[in-house]
Structure 1
Amino acid sequence: MSNPIVGGPELPQRRRLVTEIPGPVSRERFARRQQFVAGGVGTTLPVFIEAAGGGVLRDVDGNSLIDLASGIAVTSVGNAAPPVAARVSDQVRAFTHTCFMVTPYDSYVDVCEKLAQLTPGDHAKKSVLLNSGAEAVENAVKIARAYTGRDAVVVFDHAYHGRTNLTMAMTAKNMPYKQGFGPFASAIYRAPMSYPFREPGAISGSAAADRAIDLIDKQVGAANVACIVIEPILGEGGFVVPADGFLPRLADWARDNGVVFVADEIQTGFCRTGAWFACDHEGVVPDLITTAKGIAGGLPLAAVTGRAEIMDAVHSGGLGGTYGGNPVTCAAALGAIEVMQSQDLNAAARRIGDLMVSRLEKLAESHPTIGDIRGRGAMVAIELVGPDGRTPDAARTAAVSAYCHAHGVVTLTCGTYGNVLRFLPPLVIGEQLLAEGMDVLAEAFAATA
């Protein structure tokens, strides 16, 4: 089966199944993938994509799938958004690389200026551009240690920060991220997270923060802590939104004790939660903020942005990397930010969230296995549990997701217990397409009951 390769907004925005999922061409190509790609690289849905745009992915068999994943919160502005594609095309024709550390170029500085304008706080800020979220987190730790002269790093239960050695140590979940890869970096300490659905009793956000602070004071000592690194909303850990007051109390404690407060906004940033950054919802101003994923419309770019005096604590040459802030990825980021601003994707994310939560609440009325509905903006999840309302039900979660895949809807699971379905549609998805995706999800719950 052959289809003209048309992507971006021109791709018809409809679900269309012409073969089983995966189809014969995808299965043939997946066999070749198995031959040449390392087995440790997992695949959620073994369909090969030839075009994408808006809220749709089209595979090599001609099936059009509804995208509720955005490549894990990356293609927030849609695939091949015209301002992104145009800027990338122009940049590729001009030059693809010089290495900013050898000979600089304007687009790197332009992205840093945008980051200074958009990230929380009105203080003087500087940035370093990098390639991936894990690299951003590693550099945030380096910067915090250089600034404070301290070693200890505090992270939280259920956290995910990356797959490098340091970020594996910072990540909470063992399988598949850490199993067999140790020993890990030292001086990493884990504190309890605010997880409202799984708290043993009612506890306010500030009280949950005090619980974490007490552990830090007793087991680490504030004077030894270089930084706290926290996702304002947990990503891989289950889209957990901490109780109101948790983040502000931690940020206040960090400021009072000379600890650098680092917000890992790699999954939450750039309009995903209905604000530019998830910290904005509670007025939290981090000292450093790490970004990636949605920043560049699908191209690999990441950043650490923070208070100028903290960023400048590192000696000249101590930050950087050959590809960090590549001119093509910077062009993509400027195009993506243009789309976010011109189309008001913060408002779009809030509207998407309202639509999804409304449908999920109705679904939960018929399916008590949905123990919790949570999230902000277009970052929404449901946690599935057994008859007791507490025990994680990973099997049902996997079954529901598999049904969605077989019926042309791309969904993702997550959570420490593997019992969370997470929804990350592109922020440009049409409401009718989103509603159809929710329809298929409802069918999946009925079929797996």
Structure 2
Amino acid sequence: MYNPANLQIERICRVCLNENEEMKHVFEECLFEKLKELATIQIEENDGLPNLLCNYCVHEVNRWYSFKLQVIKSDKTLRSIQKEHENCSNNHTNKDNTESLRQIKKQHEDISENSDCDQNDDDTLYKSDPQLPQTFQCDICKKEVKTIHSLRRHMKIHTGVKPHTCKICGKSFAEPGNLTKHARRHTNDKKHQCNECGLRFYERNKLTIHIRTHTGEKPYSCKVCSRAFATPAQVQIHMKTHTGDKPYNCDICNKAFPYSGSLETHKKIHRGERAFVCRDCGRSFSQKVNLDSHVRTKHTHECPYMCNDCGKAYPTKDQLKNHLRHHTGEKRPLKHTCSVCEKSFGTPAEVRIHMRIHTDERPYQCDLCGKKFRASSHMTSHRRIHTGEKNHCCMYCGKAFRESSTLKIHIRTHTGERPYSCKLCGMSFTQSNTLNTHMKIHGTATNG
């Protein structure tokens, strides 16, 4: 398997003969003694053979040595129990026997107390409790898995060894099962089919996750806020909202993101990339989720998000979330404050956009006239002046508007709704700025 001419003795692992970046000396942590006991091999300093072990092999040596100690300890405890049974007289009660056995087990709790090597490190790698541990932890990256088999498979990530290679594209894998799954992509073998909608998948676990979109099952929950999710990956993504970890920054507007994929999607806004086009009106979007919301709001009028309290339905999650505040009486929390003028906002993104008022930063530019804007939404609204696009139509008279907010105000002329009232004289108005103008009569003004 190995070509002796290619082996560099001073750089390879003594056990697996592979080169790795992180290695330990065989005479550290009593590794040489454990190896000699496990494999009955001779290891001498300056014997001309490799003196290093890779992290994976160190882990395996510690794990199997702990297993050996566990076997010896259990055997000794069982033999002591057997001997005690034989020596017990017939007049001993069951209670006495139980107490006696408990004392025996306590006497033999630590079989390795006379060992010269410190076993503390081993205990963190493999728990020597008679009951199986609930999780196993990788001593390199501290990831926890449920089975020892999963831990062995995970450890191959750190070794970098990928012996299973695809004959078609040359891609390599650490596990043969992963190669088998990969090969299905070349044959388009999607053998796992959803009975509900007919969608097919390469892997069974992907089908299992997909089925939860039909059943609504969310078996994984956040340990901080108890919010439920369909997959562990969604929990990890959600945890970023608690940790605030956003290591990926946009080099144009400095907006931060928790994942590189989110940053790449955001950059499409600056590049003007709008790959998702509405078939009905031709309007384009940088993200599919925005296109889907647009289609539901403007064309199909589909409202899949329903309020459980009053039954009212909305086309987007955000609209439903805003609606729910009317039932709960909750006001949107304004936790984020501008460091310049101390004005408060609901999200960090709103603060960043607001700060551009102070810095006069305008990162978004119209590709038709060159005018610059502080927010992408402002630029999108502006472009409609050039295109003449008016997608917001009044259901009462058919009049069209560029902005949904303008349409909302116009509809009040039909419904008679006047949501802005003067607290001094009781007069009501359709717009907040009209109320502000009216308040000057009283010598004051509202905050809108």
When you count strand as a share of all residues, which structure comes out higher? 1
Larger Rg: 2
Question: Of the two structures, which has the highest relative contact order with CA contacts closer than 8 Å and spacing of 6 or more?
Answer: 1
Tell me if both proteins adopt one fold, taking TM over 0.5 as the criterion.
Answer: no
TM-score (norm 2): 0.19
TM-score (norm 1): 0.19
